[in-house]
C-alpha cells in the first residue's frame, strides 16, 4: 500500500517544518552547515532513522500479530488514529502536548549522526501525534521493505531539508518561512490524514 509512502512524506514535511521541532534543531545547525551540509544532512537523517525505524518496526510487528486473524480491525485502528491526528492538526481537537516543550536545547553528540540520534530522541514527545500516526499506518503494511522505506523517508524529511535549505538561503530566512507557513502546512496535512483515515474506514467496511 502506497499510503505508507504518501503518509511518510506528508508527516515528515510537517514534522520537519514544525516550529516546536525547529526550536530544537537550530542549536545543531552550526555543527552541520557549511560546504558539507548535504552530506551532513544525510548522516544526520540516518541518526534520526536509528531512533524511528525500530519504533515503526515494533508497531508493524505488534499490530500484525494482534490483528493477524482479523486484519480489518487493524484498518479500523489505523483509520481512527489518522483521523484524530488530522483533526488535531486542523485545530478542531486541541490537546496540551504543545505545552510539553521544555526551555532547554541540550544535544548530546559530536558528529552529525550522533546529533541525529539525539534529535530523534528529543522530538519523540514533541512530534508524538505525527510519529504515532505514521507508525499506525506502517503497522498495516504487509511489505517490510515498504515499511523501512516509509520510515527512512520520514526520518530524512524531519531534518535534511531544513539543513540543506538553510545552508543555501540562511537560517533566519528559513526560520521566518517556517513560522509564517507552518499553520497552512498543518491544515494541508490534517486534511490528507483525514482522507487516508477515510480510506482505511472504507477498507474496514468492505
CB atoms within 10 A of CB 94: 9
User: How many structural domains are present in the chain?
Assistant: 1
Q: How confident is the model over 184-196, as a mean pLDDT?
A: 81
The pTM score is 0.71
Q: Looking at residue 153, what is its pLDDT?
A: 93
Domain membership of residue 171 as a residue range? 3-205
3-class SS of residue 107: coil
pLDDT over threshold 50, residue 191: yes
Closest CA to 138 of 147, 128, 148, 129: 147
Q: Looking at residue 152, what is its pLDDT?
A: 92
* Tens digits of residue pLDDT in 34-53: 668 888 888 989 998 998 88
Between CA 166 and CA 172 the distance in angstroms is: 8
Residue 169: pLDDT band with limits 50, 70, 90: confident
Q: Looking at residue 105, what is its pLDDT?
A: 47
Q: Looking at residue 102, what is its pLDDT?
A: 45
pLDDT over 90 for what percent of the chain? Answer: 4
Q: Which residues contact 101 (CB under 8 A, 6 or more apart)?
A: 20, 23, 126
* Tens digits of residue pLDDT in 138-148: 877 778 888 89
* Tens digits of residue pLDDT in 77-91: 778 877 887 787 787
Amino acid at each position: 500500500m502506497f499510503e505508507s509512502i504518501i503518509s511518510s512524506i506528508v508527516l515528515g514535511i510537517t514534522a520537519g517544518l514544525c516550529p516546536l521541532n525547529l526550536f530544537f534543531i537550530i542549536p545543531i545547525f552550526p555543527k552541520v552547515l557549511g560546504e558539507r551540509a548535504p552530506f551532513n544532512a544525510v548522516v544526520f537523517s540516518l541518526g534520526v532513522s536509528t531512533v524511528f525505524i525500530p519504533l515503526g518496526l515494533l508497531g508493524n510487528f505488534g499490530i500484525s500479530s494482534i490483528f493477524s486473524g482479523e486484519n480489518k480491525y487493524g484498518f479500523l485502528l489505523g483509520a481512527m488514529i489518522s483521523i484524530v491526528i488530522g483533526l488535531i492538526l486542523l485545530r478542531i481537537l486541541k490537546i496540551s502536548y504543545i505545552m510539553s516543550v521544555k526551555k532547554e536545547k541540550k544535544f548530546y553528540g559530536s558528529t552529525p549522526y550522533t546529533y541525529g540520534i539525539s534529535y530523534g530522541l528529543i522530538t519523540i514527545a514533541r512530534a508524538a501525534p505525527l510519529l504515532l500516526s505514521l507508525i499506525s499506518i506502517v503497522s498495516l503494511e504487509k511489505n517490510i521493505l515498504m515499511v523501512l522505506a516509509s520510515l527512512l523517508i520520514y526520518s530524512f524529511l524531519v531534518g535534511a531539508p531544513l539543513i540543506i535549505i538553510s545552508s543555501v538561503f540562511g537560517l533566519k530566512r528559513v526560520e521566518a518561512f517556517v513560522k509564517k507557513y507552518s499553520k497552512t502546512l498543518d491544515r494541508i496535512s490534517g486534511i490528507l490524514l483525514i482522507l487516508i483515515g477515510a480510506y482505511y474506514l472504507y477498507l474496514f467496511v468492505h
